Amino acid sequence: MSDAMRAETVQITGYQGDPIEAYLAQSLDGTPTGGVVVIHHMPGYDEAAKEITRRFAAYGYLAICPNLYFREAPGASPDDAAAAARAGGGVPDDRLVGDIDGAASYLRSFGSSNGKIATIGYCSGGRQSFLAACSLSIDAAVDCYGAFVVAPPPEGLPISVEPIVHLAKNLSCPLLGLFGAEDQYPSPDEVAVLEQALTDAGKEYEFHMYEGAGHAFFNTDRTSYRPEAARDGWQRIWEFFGRTLSTN
């Protein structure tokens, strides 16, 4: 496999036909491959999100990260855009699903696509990855410590998200969940509720709960980074995508 890669900002068609910005990274190997839609964390479409997107391309996948805050702040720096999105109550669920659908369609249009699509999201993106997988027909989904899947946000907060565990019955694909045992958003008890819902719905899932890790243990530029959990988590992701995005 060649390790050549191309990464660039592109425009895709999102929810209700809106043009939105996205970061595309693709292996230039030429072999048909699966596509990965990276859903950025609440701090936004930032350097870390783009680095993760390139990482998937380095492993041979077509990868794209839509800028979910583009409408609020076109052209703004990621932190300003995240602040604007926060002040506005966050990303509405229906808009998120439309944007992920647009990103998936964009990837499927590539000659190097094998037609299979996964979503992966971190933090708020973890919930959104599960939401997308319950709303769209895709082939794999990864939820990295997504909060508010099971429990509602504390009262009085301006963010417009509701629990979505009841959607488990609609999950269209296998789900990989990676969580920290010391996390409170989501807490291990909430993860257990989600696991039970998936079992009750007869869905295929694989959850890993890392001791000594809290929220955002994948995030290498924060003190929350836990190398052992992150290293094992990445290995689980490669194995999971190797199984679910392959056409063999």
Partner 1 sequence: MCTYQTTTLNVEGSGKGAEGWFPVSDATVYFDHPVHATADHTLNVDLINPSRGASARVALELDPSSARALAEAILRTLDTIPAGLR
Give 160 or 235: the residue with its C-beta nearer to partner 1: 160
* Sign of the alpha-carbon dihedral angle for 139, 90, 24, 5: negative
- CB 219, CB 225: distance < 8 Å: yes
Tokens 């994948």 sit on residue: 218
> What gap in Å lies between CA 23 and CA 97, rounded to an integer?
18
Is position 247 an interface residue for partner 1 (rule: CB under 8 A)? Answer: no
Rule CB under 8 A: choose which of 52, 81, 131, 136 binds partner 1.
81
Binding mask 176-195 for partner 1 (x = CB under 8 A): -------xxx----------
Please, which of residues 27-46 interact with partner 1 by CB under 8 A?
Answer: 42-43, 46
Token pair listed for 140: 């794999």
Tokens 């869905």 sit on residue: 203
- Angle at which helix 93-108 crosses helix 124-135, to 10 degrees, equals 70
Rule CB under 8 A: choose which of 84, 167, 181, 193 binds partner 1.
84
Active site residue 3: no
Catalytic residue among 40, 99, 123, 144: 123
Give 65 or 213: the residue with its C-beta nearer to partner 1: 213
> What gap in Å lies between CA 2 and CA 143, rounded to an integer?
29
Give me the residues paired with residue 39 across strands. Answer: 121
C-beta of 248: minimal distance to partner 1 in Å? 38
| Residue ranges in contact with partner 1 by CB under 8 A | 42-43, 46, 72-73, 76-77, 79-84, 86-87, 123-124, 147, 153-154, 157-159, 183-185, 214-216, 222-224
